[in-house]
Structures are given as C-alpha cells and as structure tokens.
Amino acid sequence: MPEYKCNNKDCIRYDKIVSKNSITKIVNGELVDSALKCPICSKDRELIIKDGMTTMMHGGPNVCKK
C-alpha cells in the first residue's frame, strides 16, 4: 500500500506518514494519483517510493483509449 507524507508546514498532518489505497489514472497523458492530495490542507503530498513499487508506465498515444 502506498505511503504519503504532507510537506505543508501549516497542516496538522505535516511530516506524518499515512498509508492509503489509491487509484492511479491517466488523464490527458499524465498519471493522476487519487490519494496524492492531503485531505486536510488539499496540497499535494509526497509519495514515498519503496523498493518494488512501479514508478514508470509505458505505452503509445492510444493508451488512454483502451
């Protein structure tokens, strides 16, 4: 399960690591992570990359149409 950390110093969840199920979609050719935004401050959180996690996706221009 991915882990995220809020880097907004004004947020009450600043620097706390949370595990969250997420769904990653491709929107307009960009990867969009459903759990990236902090639910408290709405800023993007840092995704903590662990060994074995997928960090790249490859495909042609029609990958969004499948």
The domain segmentation of the chain, as residue ranges, is: 1-49
> Quick one: pLDDT band at residue 12, thresholds 50, 70, 90?
very high
pLDDT at 47 over 90: no
pLDDT band (50, 70, 90) for residue 48: confident
Burial of 6 (0-12, 13-18, 19+ CB in 10 A): buried
If one compares 35 and 27, the residue with the highest pLDDT of the two is 35
Q: Is 47 exposed, middle or buried (0-12, 13-18, 19+ CB in 10 A)?
A: middle
- At residue 57, the pLDDT reads 64
